[in-house]
Every structure is written in C-alpha cells, then in structure tokens.
C-alpha cells in the first residue's frame, strides 16, 4: 500500500472493482480503512473516503485476504542497495507470503508484478518462489505477468485512469488474456494501446522510460548551463523551439535544479548496475546522473557568487518537495542544495507548504523551518527557489525587497519573469544575465 499500490487500488475501486489493499504495516492499513491516505496525493483522500463508505475497498495486514481475490498486484518497493543495485528483499518476502496464502486455492489466480524490477526478475525470481510456495506451476491454474506502472506523483490518479499505454509482460498466453480482459473491463471503450510482450521486455520498458525522461532533464539542464553564459539568452525559448519538433517533443524540457523523487535516481542506478554486471557500461546514463548531481552544486555556486561567501549568511530556501503538489522529499534537489549550503557554513531557513514534516526527518534541527514564505525571507541574505509551488509564483519583487536583508535571489525553478526583478540581484538557471 505504498504510492503505486494505493493509487492503483483507488483507481480500481473507482471503476467498481472490489479491492483489498494488503500491507504488513498495520498502522497504514488501519488508516486506509478509515479512508485516509498515508501520504499526500490530489484526489486520493476523497476517493478513499468514498471507497471505504461503499465498502468497495478494504485494507488488511492479513495476506490470506489475497486468496479471496482473483488477481493480485504486487506493488512493494524495490529500493537501492548501497552499490546502487536493486534490493529485492521486500519483493521476495511478499511473494513467499503470497505463495503460502495461495497454496491449495481452488480455481485460477493471476499474480501481476507492478513493482519496478530489473529484467529477469519476474521469470527468474518471482516465478520459482511462487511456484515453490503454491506448489503449482505457472500455467492453467496460476498466472504471472509483469505490468509496469508509469504514474507520476501529484497526478497519480489521473495517470492511472488515463494511461498512454499498458505494457504486459506475460509468462504465458492465459496470463496475457486474463489481464487484458481485466483492463478491457476497466477502461471499457477507452482502452489505451496494449503492448503484450515478454516479462523481460516489459521490465526493461519501465527502466528505459525513466532513463529517457531523466536524460531529457539532464539534457535541458546542460543546455541551460550553456545558455546561462550568454547574455540575453533564456533556455525557456530554446526548449520551446526545440520542443516543437515532434521528434523531440516539448514535455520534460523544464530546466531546473535537477530531478528528484523516489524513482529516477534509484532506477538509473539499478539499470547502470545491472548493465555493468552484464558487461556493458552505459556511459550515457552515468552522465545523466552526474549532470543531475552537479546541477545542485551549480545552484549553490550561483548563491555563493551573489554573496561572495556563504559563511554565516542566512539563506532562505523556498520549497523542499521534489516537485510541487507533493509532500515527498525523497532524493529532492533541495536536500543536495541544503547539504552543500550547510557545508559552506550558511544558516538555512526553509519553507514548504507541505513537505516540512518529511524534511524534518532528514535535517531535524540542523536548519530552521519557517511558517510561511515571508517569515522565511525575513532577514535573509539570499533566497533560493527550489520547488515550483504556485504560491511562490505569486511573490513579487517588492516582497523580497520588504523582507530580506539583501534581495539576492537564485531562481532554480525559473518561476519569475526576470524583467520584473530588474531592481534585485536576481539570477535564474538558464538565463544569461547581463552580469553573468
């Protein structure tokens, strides 16, 4: 019942499928039973409330509930080990428990791996464990598919209800037919393109998709860093123009402080590690990651350039979440920026509309937390915009002038029009300033 699991469950319920969410964390399942999401995601709370009221959704820590269903989606986390390789501990233990629960079940059961897993996992790891504990071979009575998920935090529900494709990696024809049947029922006349392939291909589609998106961001950040050296050039214009070429496409070309979130870094590291073990060194993806890591350092260097030195300077960081409309700070660029600011001796005061409780788990008392943007700006020597929250866009040049000690602004998300900040020391990623 993490991000993918709970959003998937809510989407199934909204299309009138009776669903049960299973998680070893009892506190989490109790919260879900009350119709409350354990994390912030637009639309999710209202959907859960309704789902629980109509008794279409239940949540439990008792895996035997899976036996009463016809299809089980496995959506456990697949974090990184310290060397970047994928950690399949949760997946293996979930499959062992599921296998035990399904042992001796009369009738057909389909198991669908939605977790992001490296190629070969569904067939090479999930299948033997499942077959061992169910004492049944994948075939007429037991189905197995890999069916990766492409939803994004912040728009997860909409993404689940309107995906641009469904990728099914089926172990056998019956599994492919059963899951296609399910999605035909789910999407009725609105079924997106379904790609049926091998489990290994489906698993690689997911990594290729995230690697491409991450590379697109590192690409535009590279162009931004060049544009920033040329007075009068703004990377936004470059992105707009190149994005009109359908071979390039205009989405995911927003330059900024580098990508964050629980997926891109983790998945790239897993893919690089996997590929190297297979004897191929994917230098492009290493450059994607390297560029991303260095982008945060560039943000700090921009602040340092404005202030001379960061030592004992008060720096207001507006935004901690890895993107707007989420309380998630996992791998957020703000964490890298704040870490570097602290190393350089700056005093950091941060504000985020939603992510402060999660940021406190990382930084505890090492930084100050403000109650709103104005409070964060008060007395600050520099302000760094780290998340593109709508409320930050409403700030005007006069707000920075009124509250800050000196109005030095580093706009790492490029949310302001540089022309309206002429009287301030304003620099933005990808904008070639007169004083560049």
Q: Which residues are catalytic?
A: 263
Note whether 66 and 102 are within 8 A (CB): yes
Number of residues that bind ligand UGA (CB under 6 A): 20
Name the minimum Å distance from CB 1 to ligand UGA. 15
Q: Are strands 165-170 and 193-197 parallel, antiparallel or unpaired?
A: parallel
Contact flag: residue 151 with ligand UGA (CB under 6 A) = yes
The smaller minimum CB distance to ligand UGA, of residues 23 and 41, is found at: 41
Contact flag: residue 256 with ligand UGA (CB under 6 A) = yes
Contact flag: residue 110 with ligand UGA (CB under 6 A) = no
Question: DSSP for 359-395?
Answer: HHHHHGGGSEE-SSHHHHHTT-SEEEE-S--HHHHT-
Closest to 427 in 3D by CA, of 242, 225, 250, 218 = 225
Pick from 28, 127, 265, 323 the residue near ligand UGA by CB under 6 A.
323
210 Rama sector, left if φ>0, alpha if ψ -120 to 50, beta otherwise: alpha
Name the minimum Å distance from CB 222 to ligand UGA. 12
Name the minimum Å distance from CB 3 to ligand UGA. 7
Pick from 149, 203, 304, 327 the residue near ligand UGA by CB under 6 A.
149
Pick from 110, 157, 253, 346 the residue near ligand UGA by CB under 6 A.
253
The smaller minimum CB distance to ligand UGA, of residues 108 and 252, is found at: 252
Contact flag: residue 108 with ligand UGA (CB under 6 A) = no
Number of helices (H), then strands (E), belonging to the chain: the values are 17, 13
Pick from 143, 260, 430, 432 the residue near ligand UGA by CB under 6 A.
260
Q: How much of the chain is helix, strand and coil, in % rounded to 5?
A: 45, 15, 40
In the block, tokens 């456990």 appear at 76
Name the minimum Å distance from CB 65 to ligand UGA. 25
Beta-carbon-side half-sphere exposure of residue 422 (alpha carbons within 13 Å): 2
Contact flag: residue 133 with ligand UGA (CB under 6 A) = no
Question: DSSP for 175-242?
Answer: HHHHHHHHHHHHHGGG--EEEEE-HHHHHHHHHHHHHHHHHHHHHHHHHHHHHTTSTT-BHHHHHHHH
Pick from 322, 351, 369, 426 the residue near ligand UGA by CB under 6 A.
322
Pick from 48, 56, 179, 217 the residue near ligand UGA by CB under 6 A.
217
Positions that interact with ligand UGA (CB under 6 A): 116, 149-153, 210, 213, 217, 252-254, 256, 259-261, 263-264, 322-323
């Amino acid at each position: 019942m993490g991000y993918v699991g709970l959003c998937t469950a809510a989407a199934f319920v909204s299309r009138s499928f009776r669903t049960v969410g299973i998680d070893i964390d009892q506190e989490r399942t109790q919260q879900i039973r009350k119709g409350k999401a354990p994390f912030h995601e637009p639309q999710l709370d209202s959907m859960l409330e309704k789902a629980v009221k109509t008794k279409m959704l239940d949540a439990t820590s008792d895996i035997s509930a899976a036996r009463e269903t016809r299809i089980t989606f496995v959506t456990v986390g697949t974090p990184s080990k310290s060397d970047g390789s994928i950690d399949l501990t949760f997946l293996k233990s979930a499959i062992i428990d599921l296998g035990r629960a399904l042992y001796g079940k009369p009738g057909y059961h389909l198991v669908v791996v939605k977790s992001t897993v490296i190629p070969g996992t569904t067939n090479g790891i999930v299948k033997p464990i499942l077959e061992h504990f169910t004492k049944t071979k994948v075939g007429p009575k037991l189905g197995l598919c890999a069916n990766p998920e492409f939803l994004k935090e912040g728009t997860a529900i909409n993404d689940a209800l309107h995906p641009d494709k469904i990728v099914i990696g089926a172990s056998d024809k019956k599994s492919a037919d059963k899951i296609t049947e399910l999605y035909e029922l789910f999407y009725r006349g609105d079924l997106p393109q379904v790609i049926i392939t091998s489990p290994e291909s489906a698993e690689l589609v997911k990594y290729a998709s995230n690697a491409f998106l991450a590379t697109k961001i590192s690409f535009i950040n590279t162009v931004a860093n060049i544009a920033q050296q040329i007075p009068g050039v703004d990377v936004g214009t470059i992105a707009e123009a190149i994005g009109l070429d359908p071979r390039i496409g205009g989405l995911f070309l927003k330059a900024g402080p580098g990508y964050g979130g629980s997926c891109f870094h983790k998945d790239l590291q897993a893919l690089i590690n996997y590929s190297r073990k297979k004897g191929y060194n994917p230098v492009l993806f290493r450059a994607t990651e390297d560029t991303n890591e260095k982008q945060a350092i560039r943000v700090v260097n921009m602040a340092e350039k404005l202030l001379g030195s960061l030592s004992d300077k008060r720096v207001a960081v507006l935004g901690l979440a890895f993107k707007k409309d989420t309380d998630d700070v996992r791998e957020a660029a703000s964490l890298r920026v704040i870490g570097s600011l602290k190393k350089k001796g700056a005093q950091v005061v941060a504000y985020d509309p939603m992510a402060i409780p999660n940021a406190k788990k990382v930084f505890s008392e090492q930084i100050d937390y403000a109650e709103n943007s104005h409070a964060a700006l008060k007395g600050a020597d520099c302000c760094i915009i780290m998340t593109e929250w709508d409320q930050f866009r409403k700030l005007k040049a006069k707000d920075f002038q009124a509250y800050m000690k000196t109005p030095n602004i580093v706009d790492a998300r490029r949310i302001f029009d540089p022309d309206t900040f002429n009287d301030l020391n304003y620099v933005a990623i990808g904008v070639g300033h007169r004083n560049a």
